[in-house]
C-alpha cells in the first residue's frame, strides 16, 4: 500500500497522529520528573528522547508547540534540573496516566500512584519505582521554527542503575532491567533480544557477541 | 549503583560510548537510502531518528560531528531526498554490516546484500527488503554548537506499508510488520506487545484497548 502527501491531507487529526507517531519505529519511553520553583512536583511521560552524544553525555528531547503552560518545560527552564526514568511493566499504566491533563496544583506523582525520590542533592525528583534513573542538567533550548517544536538538550549528571546489569564493556542490559519500549502514543512492548553483533568491518563476517 | 560526572570521566572511550548509547532506552533503527549526484548509491544504519511532528509530518535525525565525508549527509544535502526503511530479523545482519567504513565508490547495497528499489520518481533508493519504507524530502539542517552534531529535519513524502497492518485509527502495527528495535550500537531486539492503553483523562481508569 502506497501513501503520498495527497493522501496525508485526507487523514483526520487523530488518524494522522496515530499514523505518523507509529511510523518512526519503536521508541524510548521515560518519565520526566521535575519540580516547580514553588515546590510542586511534576512527572510526565515522554517518548521523544534521543542520544545526542557521549562526551559530554547529552540527551535531547522535544516538546510540542503552543504549550505555554507545559509544566515540565517550565520547570526545567526555572530550576535547570530534571530526571528521566525508564518504565517497567509493573507501573506502565501509572506512567501512561501521567499524560492526563492535571491542573498546575496537582502532583502527578500523587495522582498517578508514583513515588518521588530525591538523591544526592539533585534538584528534581526521580521516580522511585524505576530501575534506570538519570539526573540531567539543562544545557540549551532550541526553538524549531518549522513547526514550533522546542528541543531541549540536557547533560547527564547522575545515573542510578544496578551494576549487575552493566556488561564489562559498558553496555547496559535494558531487557534484564525490564525497560519497556513504545510505538505511537499508547502502545507498550517488552523486548526479546535477538543478538548483539560484532563491530562491522569491510570484508569481515558479522559475528554474534552476546 | 550510582554513577556521577566524576565517574564518567574515568570511563574509557569504548565503555563510555556503550554506556551512554544504551542509557537512553530502546531506539528506532532504520536503513537510510541515498544516492550521490554521481549516481553512487549509499545505505547506512541509523538509530537517531525521532518524530518531530505530524502536521506537517516531520522526522529528525542526528549525525555525529566531524564527519566531513559522511556520505549519507552529503547525499541528502546534494539531492534533497532520502529514504528510511525499517529493519526486520531476516536482514538485520546485512543492516548492521552497512556501518562498516566502505569507500566512496562502493555501494553498500551491493557490499551488504541489500536491494535498492526506486519508486514513484523519488530521487533516493528504498530498501526492497523492508516492510516499512518512508520517502523524505530534506527540509532543514541545524548545526548544534554544543558538540558539533548535525540535526537534519525531513518531511515525509511517501510511505509504503501493507495496509492490513494499519489499524482503523491509523496505528501501524510494527510488531506484526516485524520491525526491530535496538539499544547501544549493536544490540537488536524483537518485541512483544503488552497493550495499547486508552487516552488518559483525569479521574478516569486506564483501559486496555488493544
**B192 Cβ neighbours under 8 A, 6+ residues apart:** A189, A190, A191, A192, B175
Least Cα distance to B178 among A192, A2, A48, A68 occurs for A192
Reported as a single tens digit per residue, the pLDDT across A57-94 is 999 999 988 766 789 999 999 999 999 999 999 999 99
Question: Å from A37 to nearest chain B CA?
Answer: 24
User: Mutation test of the interface with chain A: which of B9, B16, B18, B23, choosing the one with the most A Cβ atoms within 10 A?
Assistant: B23
Structure confidence at residue B104 (pLDDT): 87
Contact B117, B126 (CB under 8 A): yes
**Whether pLDDT at A107 is above 70:** yes
Nearest to A180 by CA among B191, B198, B201, B168: B191
Predicted local confidence at residue B1, as pLDDT: 86
What confidence tens digit (pLDDT) does each residue in B13-26 have? Answer: 999 999 999 999 99
Rounded Cα–Cα distance for residues B210 and A40 (Å): 34
Residue B115 C-alpha, separation from nearest chain A C-alpha, in angstroms: 18
Supply the pLDDT for residue A68: 65
pLDDT tens series, chain B, 210 aa: 899 999 999 999 999 999 999 999 999 999 999 999 999 999 999 999 999 999 999 999 999 887 667 899 999 999 999 999 999 999 999 999 999 999 989 999 999 999 999 998 899 999 999 999 999 999 999 999 999 999 999 999 999 999 999 999 999 999 999 999 999 999 999 999 999 999 999 999 999 999
CA distance A141 to A154: 9
pLDDT at site A104? 87
Is the CB of residue B96 less than 8 Å away from at least one CB of chain A? yes
Instruction: Please give the average per-residue pLDDT across A172-196, as a whole number.
Output: 98
Q: State residue A178's pLDDT score.
A: 98
Smallest Cβ–Cβ distance between A206 and the set B93, B120, B194 belongs to: B93
A133-156: pLDDT as tens digits: 999 999 999 999 999 999 999 999
Instruction: Provide the ipTM.
Output: 0.95
Given A54, A120, A193, which is nearest B189 (Cβ)? A193
Residue A53: the pLDDT is 95
- Does residue B56 have a cis bond before it (omega within 30 degrees)? yes
CB of B202 within 8 Å of a chain A CB? The answer is: yes
Report d(CA A185, CA A150) in Å as an integer: 19
Nearest to B26 among A153, A174, A194 (CB): A174
| pLDDT beyond 70 at A203 | yes
CA dist B58 and B60 (Å) reads 7
Amino acid at each position: 500500500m502506497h501513501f503520498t502527501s495527497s493522501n496525508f491531507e485526507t487523514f483526520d487529526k487523530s488518524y494522522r497522529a496515530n499514523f505518523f507517531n507509529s511510523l518512526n519505529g519503536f521508541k524510548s519511553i521515560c518519565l520526566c520528573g521535575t519540580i516547580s520553583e514553588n515546590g510542586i512536583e511534576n512527572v510526565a511521560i515522554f517518548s521523544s528522547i534521543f542520544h545526542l552524544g557521549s562526551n559530554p553525555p547529552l540527551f535531547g528531547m522535544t516538546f510540542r508547540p503552543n504549550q505555554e503552560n507545559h509544566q515540565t518545560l517550565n520547570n526545567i527552564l526555572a530550576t535547570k534540573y530534571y530526571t528521566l526514568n525508564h518504565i517497567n511493566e509493573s507501573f506502565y499504566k501509572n506512567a501512561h496516566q501521567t499524560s492526563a491533563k492535571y491542573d498546575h496544583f496537582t502532583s502527578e506523582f500523587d495522582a498517578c500512584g508514583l513515588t518521588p525520590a530525591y538523591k544526592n542533592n539533585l534538584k528534581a525528583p526521580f521516580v522511585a519505582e524505576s530501575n534506570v534513573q538519570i539526573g540531567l542538567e539543562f544545557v540549551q533550548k532550541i526553538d524549531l521554527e518549522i513547526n514550533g517544536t522546542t528541543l531541549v538538550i540536557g547533560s547527564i549528571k547522575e545515573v542510578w542503575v544496578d551494576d549487575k546489569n552493566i556488561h564489562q564493556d559498558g553496555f547496559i542490559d535494558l531487557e534484564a532491567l525490564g525497560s519497556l519500549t513504545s510505538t505511537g502514543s499508547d502502545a507498550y512492548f517488552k523486548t526479546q533480544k535477538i543478538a548483539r553483533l560484532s563491530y562491522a568491518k569491510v570484508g569481515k563476517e558479522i559475528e554474534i557477541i552476546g
